Amino acid sequence: MAPRRGPAGKSKAPAFSCKLDKDLGELSEMLVALEEFAEKHGVSPLQTQRITLSVDELVTNIIKYGTRALEHAHIHLWATISDGTFHIEIEDHGIPFDPFHEAPVPDTTLPLEERPIGGLGVFLVQSLMTTTNYERIKDRNRITLTRSLTASDQEEAQ
Protein backbone atom coordinates (compact mmCIF):
# COMPACT_ATOMS: atom_id res chain seq x y z
CA MET A 1 0.00 0.00 0.00
CA ALA A 2 1.47 3.34 -1.00
CA PRO A 3 1.62 5.93 1.78
CA ARG A 4 -1.60 7.83 1.85
CA ARG A 5 -3.62 9.76 4.33
CA GLY A 6 -6.01 7.54 6.27
CA PRO A 7 -9.70 8.43 6.34
CA ALA A 8 -9.38 9.85 9.82
CA GLY A 9 -5.91 11.28 9.30
CA LYS A 10 -4.56 10.02 12.63
CA SER A 11 -1.38 8.07 12.35
CA LYS A 12 -1.81 6.16 15.61
CA ALA A 13 -5.36 5.08 14.95
CA PRO A 14 -5.75 1.38 14.12
CA ALA A 15 -5.87 1.15 10.33
CA PHE A 16 -6.78 -1.45 7.76
CA SER A 17 -6.34 -1.21 4.02
CA CYS A 18 -6.95 -3.54 1.17
CA LYS A 19 -6.97 -3.49 -2.61
CA LEU A 20 -9.04 -5.92 -4.58
CA ASP A 21 -10.03 -6.70 -8.11
CA LYS A 22 -13.53 -7.65 -9.22
CA ASP A 23 -13.37 -11.08 -7.70
CA LEU A 24 -15.99 -12.34 -5.25
CA GLY A 25 -13.47 -14.73 -3.70
CA GLU A 26 -11.16 -11.82 -2.90
CA LEU A 27 -14.14 -9.95 -1.48
CA SER A 28 -14.99 -12.87 0.86
CA GLU A 29 -11.40 -12.99 2.10
CA MET A 30 -11.30 -9.22 2.59
CA LEU A 31 -14.51 -9.31 4.67
CA VAL A 32 -13.09 -11.96 6.96
CA ALA A 33 -9.90 -9.89 7.37
CA LEU A 34 -11.95 -6.75 8.10
CA GLU A 35 -13.96 -8.67 10.68
CA GLU A 36 -10.75 -9.84 12.37
CA PHE A 37 -9.40 -6.27 12.36
CA ALA A 38 -12.57 -4.94 14.01
CA GLU A 39 -12.73 -7.66 16.63
CA LYS A 40 -9.03 -7.33 17.43
CA HIS A 41 -9.63 -3.65 18.21
CA GLY A 42 -12.54 -4.31 20.53
CA VAL A 43 -15.46 -3.62 18.21
CA SER A 44 -18.43 -5.67 19.41
CA PRO A 45 -19.64 -8.60 17.30
CA LEU A 46 -22.94 -6.81 16.49
CA GLN A 47 -21.19 -3.63 15.31
CA THR A 48 -18.63 -5.69 13.39
CA GLN A 49 -21.39 -7.48 11.52
CA ARG A 50 -23.08 -4.17 10.65
CA ILE A 51 -19.80 -2.91 9.22
CA THR A 52 -18.83 -6.01 7.24
CA LEU A 53 -22.33 -6.39 5.80
CA SER A 54 -22.33 -2.75 4.66
CA VAL A 55 -18.93 -3.07 2.98
CA ASP A 56 -20.03 -6.35 1.40
CA GLU A 57 -23.21 -4.88 -0.10
CA LEU A 58 -21.43 -1.86 -1.60
CA VAL A 59 -18.41 -3.74 -2.96
CA THR A 60 -20.68 -6.48 -4.35
CA ASN A 61 -22.53 -3.80 -6.33
CA ILE A 62 -19.25 -2.29 -7.54
CA ILE A 63 -18.07 -5.71 -8.75
CA LYS A 64 -21.37 -6.77 -10.32
CA TYR A 65 -22.45 -3.48 -11.91
CA GLY A 66 -20.12 -0.50 -11.53
CA THR A 67 -16.98 -2.07 -12.96
CA ARG A 68 -18.61 -4.67 -15.21
CA ALA A 69 -17.15 -3.15 -18.39
CA LEU A 70 -13.62 -2.89 -16.98
CA GLU A 71 -10.96 -5.55 -17.15
CA HIS A 72 -9.73 -4.69 -13.65
CA ALA A 73 -11.70 -2.93 -10.94
CA HIS A 74 -8.94 -1.53 -8.69
CA ILE A 75 -11.19 -1.29 -5.66
CA HIS A 76 -9.49 0.20 -2.60
CA LEU A 77 -10.79 0.02 0.92
CA TRP A 78 -9.46 1.86 3.97
CA ALA A 79 -10.75 1.55 7.51
CA THR A 80 -9.71 3.29 10.72
CA ILE A 81 -11.02 3.46 14.24
CA SER A 82 -10.76 6.79 16.01
CA ASP A 83 -12.77 8.90 18.44
CA GLY A 84 -15.24 6.09 19.04
CA THR A 85 -16.05 5.86 15.34
CA PHE A 86 -15.33 3.26 12.69
CA HIS A 87 -14.48 5.05 9.41
CA ILE A 88 -14.53 3.38 6.01
CA GLU A 89 -13.60 4.63 2.56
CA ILE A 90 -14.18 2.67 -0.62
CA GLU A 91 -12.89 3.86 -4.00
CA ASP A 92 -13.27 2.37 -7.47
CA HIS A 93 -12.75 3.30 -11.12
CA GLY A 94 -16.20 2.22 -12.25
CA ILE A 95 -18.99 4.20 -13.88
CA PRO A 96 -20.16 7.21 -11.83
CA PHE A 97 -22.88 5.99 -9.50
CA ASP A 98 -24.17 7.45 -6.25
CA PRO A 99 -25.78 4.47 -4.50
CA PHE A 100 -27.29 6.65 -1.77
CA HIS A 101 -29.28 8.80 -4.21
CA GLU A 102 -29.58 6.77 -7.39
CA ALA A 103 -30.52 3.33 -6.03
CA PRO A 104 -34.29 2.82 -5.76
CA VAL A 105 -35.61 2.70 -2.19
CA PRO A 106 -37.41 -0.58 -1.49
CA ASP A 107 -40.86 -0.65 0.09
CA THR A 108 -40.28 -2.89 3.12
CA THR A 109 -43.98 -2.95 3.98
CA LEU A 110 -45.20 -4.84 0.91
CA PRO A 111 -46.73 -8.28 1.48
CA LEU A 112 -44.83 -11.39 0.39
CA GLU A 113 -46.55 -11.79 -2.96
CA GLU A 114 -45.81 -8.18 -3.96
CA ARG A 115 -42.24 -8.03 -2.69
CA PRO A 116 -39.75 -7.59 -5.54
CA ILE A 117 -36.73 -9.89 -5.46
CA GLY A 118 -33.58 -7.94 -4.64
CA GLY A 119 -32.77 -4.27 -4.21
CA LEU A 120 -32.17 -4.38 -0.44
CA GLY A 121 -28.41 -3.93 -0.30
CA VAL A 122 -28.01 -0.15 -0.27
CA PHE A 123 -31.04 0.25 1.99
CA LEU A 124 -29.37 -2.03 4.53
CA VAL A 125 -26.17 0.05 4.40
CA GLN A 126 -28.10 3.27 5.04
CA SER A 127 -29.91 1.64 7.95
CA LEU A 128 -26.83 0.10 9.55
CA MET A 129 -24.35 2.98 9.18
CA THR A 130 -24.35 6.24 11.12
CA THR A 131 -23.41 8.33 8.05
CA THR A 132 -23.03 7.54 4.35
CA ASN A 133 -21.54 9.78 1.67
CA TYR A 134 -20.68 9.58 -2.03
CA GLU A 135 -18.36 11.77 -4.11
CA ARG A 136 -17.12 11.54 -7.67
CA ILE A 137 -13.47 12.58 -7.74
CA LYS A 138 -11.99 12.72 -11.25
CA ASP A 139 -12.36 9.18 -12.56
CA ARG A 140 -13.11 7.58 -9.21
CA ASN A 141 -16.14 6.92 -7.04
CA ARG A 142 -15.51 7.47 -3.35
CA ILE A 143 -17.89 6.19 -0.71
CA THR A 144 -17.36 7.24 2.91
CA LEU A 145 -19.12 5.46 5.75
CA THR A 146 -19.01 5.92 9.49
CA ARG A 147 -20.40 3.81 12.27
CA SER A 148 -20.52 5.30 15.75
CA LEU A 149 -19.23 2.79 18.27
CA THR A 150 -20.19 4.84 21.31
CA ALA A 151 -23.93 4.80 20.65
CA SER A 152 -25.63 2.14 22.68
CA ASP A 153 -24.34 -1.05 21.17
CA GLN A 154 -27.53 -3.02 21.55
CA GLU A 155 -29.68 -0.24 20.21
CA GLU A 156 -31.34 -1.41 17.06
CA ALA A 157 -30.33 0.27 13.82
CA GLN A 158 -33.17 2.13 12.12
Partner 1 sequence: MNLTDETKNGVLVLSPQGRIDTRTSSEFEQAVMAHAIGPEGATQVVMNFGGLDYINSTGMRVLLILAKRLAGVKGKLVLCEMKEHILEVFKISGFNQILTITDTEADALQRF
Interface with partner 1 by CB under 8 A: which residues?
A: 24-25, 27-28, 31, 45-46, 49-50, 52-53, 56-57, 60, 63-64, 106, 108-113, 115, 117-118, 120-121, 123-124, 127-128, 156-158
Report the nearest approach of partner 1 to the CB of residue 100 (Å): 16
Q: In this structure, what DSSP letter does residue 113 have?
A: G
Our CB check for partner 1 shows the closer of 6 and 22 to be: 22
Instruction: Provide, rounded to whole angstroms, the least separation between the CB of residue 35 and partner 1.
Output: 9
Q: Which is nearer to partner 1, 6 or 121 (CB)?
A: 121
What does the angle CA 120 – CA 122 – CA 125 come to, to the nearest 5 degrees?
110
Q: Which is nearer to partner 1, 48 or 141 (CB)?
A: 48
The phi and psi torsions of 129 (rounded to 5 degrees) equal: -95, 155
Q: Do the Cβ atoms of 23 and 75 come closer than 8 Å?
A: no
Q: Which is nearer to partner 1, 46 or 95 (CB)?
A: 46
CB of 7 to partner 1, least distance (A): 23
Cα 99 to Cα 54: distance, rounded to the nearest angstrom: 12
Q: How far apart are CA 17 and CA 5, in angstroms?
A: 11
Residues ≥6 apart with Cβ < 8 Å to 113: none
CB of 63 to partner 1, least distance (A): 8
